[in-house]
Amino acid sequence: MTTAPKTQPKLMTGMAAWWDTLVVSTQKELTIMLRYPVEFVASFAQVFIIVIVLTLAGLMFSKNGAVPSKGTSNIAGLVVYGFILFMFLSDTLWGIGYNVRREQKQGTLEQLYLSPASKSLTLLSRIMVTLIWTGSLCILSGVLMSTMIGRLPFHNLPLGLFILVMALSGTFGTGFAFAALTLRVRETGQTIANLAQFAFMVLCAPFFPFSALPDWLRWVSRAIPLSYGVDAFRSTLMGFPNGFPELAPFGLELVIVIAFGVLMPMIGFRLYQLEENRARKKGSLSEY
């Protein structure tokens, strides 16, 4: 015998439903993350060791060796601010783009598409996780790096934050586009994510100034909008020292970064929708 519920669940619509789904999806992602403490702690520790390794490597070229410089260090700014964007791009590629593959492998992607929840929110919830998780990692590793290299320069904070938000928005759009690509190429997505990450490390110069690149390669960098994000973000926070920004006049860089931040999420999401529809029509959503 079944008993009818005393109260009917409240049917949510509009903004309330959107917000509730986003919160629940984010909660789901965070809960899964916290249920694997080994993975959680390991990935946290891993970032710190990478930071220490790269910082020590850079210090081998300084006169003082592994001794932090007194006062504000532009090298610290150069590396730390680039590192922040690298972390976000890397987590976006894996966390948003390649995560679709995880759902596919687990066999839960088909179910997600059968639920009445908004499809876009499952992608957005991953952004929330990336913002919370990667954001805290960035703050902590920034502190660690600045104790090792020297105090971080902090100029034009509001403008710097605005550029960061725009660059991140564009990066998340890139993540959506990558999720679309992963739906199409499946396992090859892993190799592409690796290559994209390494291409970013060289072409967008997050750990060194663009002047270190050969001239012809700098032209390739100029063709990537995220390069302007890296350049404008660190130049702003470093207080525009001599030679910065390196790729274009600041005004032009700002326009490119804003366009990237506004257009890329739309393009990325549209690409994802197209690929998702294609996969549903072909019946390849749960194939892997």
Number of residues located near another protein, criterion CB under 8 A:
40
Binding another protein (rule: CB under 8 A), the pick from 35, 63, 70, 281 is: 63
Asked if 65 interacts with another protein (CB under 8 A), we say: yes
Asked if 162 interacts with another protein (CB under 8 A), we say: no
Closest CA to 261 of 219, 226, 210, 214: 226
* Complex with another protein: residue 78 or 127, whichever CB lies closer: 78
Q: Alpha helix (H) ranges present in 93-187? A: 99-106, 109-114, 119-149, 157-185
The amino acid sitting at 196 is: A
Collapse the DSSP code of 191 into the 3-class scheme (helix H, G, I; strand E, B; otherwise coil) and give the result.
helix
Asked if 33 interacts with another protein (CB under 8 A), we say: no
Residue 151, beta-bridge partner list:
72
Q: Which region, judged by CB under 8 A, interacts with another protein, from 115-123, 209-217, 249-257, 272-280?
A: 209-217
Site string (43-62) toward another protein, x via CB under 8 A: x-xx--xx-xxx-xxxxxxx
Closest CA to 276 of 164, 153, 163, 118: 118
Structure tokens given for 253: 């860089």
Residue appearing with tokens 């690149």: 213
Asked if 34 interacts with another protein (CB under 8 A), we say: no
Asked if 198 interacts with another protein (CB under 8 A), we say: yes
**Residue pair 224/203 in contact by the 8 Å Cβ criterion:** yes
Residue 72, beta-bridge partner list:
151
Q: Which region, judged by CB under 8 A, interacts with another protein, from 89-97, 128-136, 205-213, 226-234?
A: 205-213
Residues of the shown chain interacting with another protein in the complex, contacts defined by CB under 8 A? 36, 38-40, 42-43, 45-46, 49-50, 52-54, 56-63, 65-66, 75, 78-79, 188, 191, 194-195, 198, 201-202, 205, 207-209, 211-213
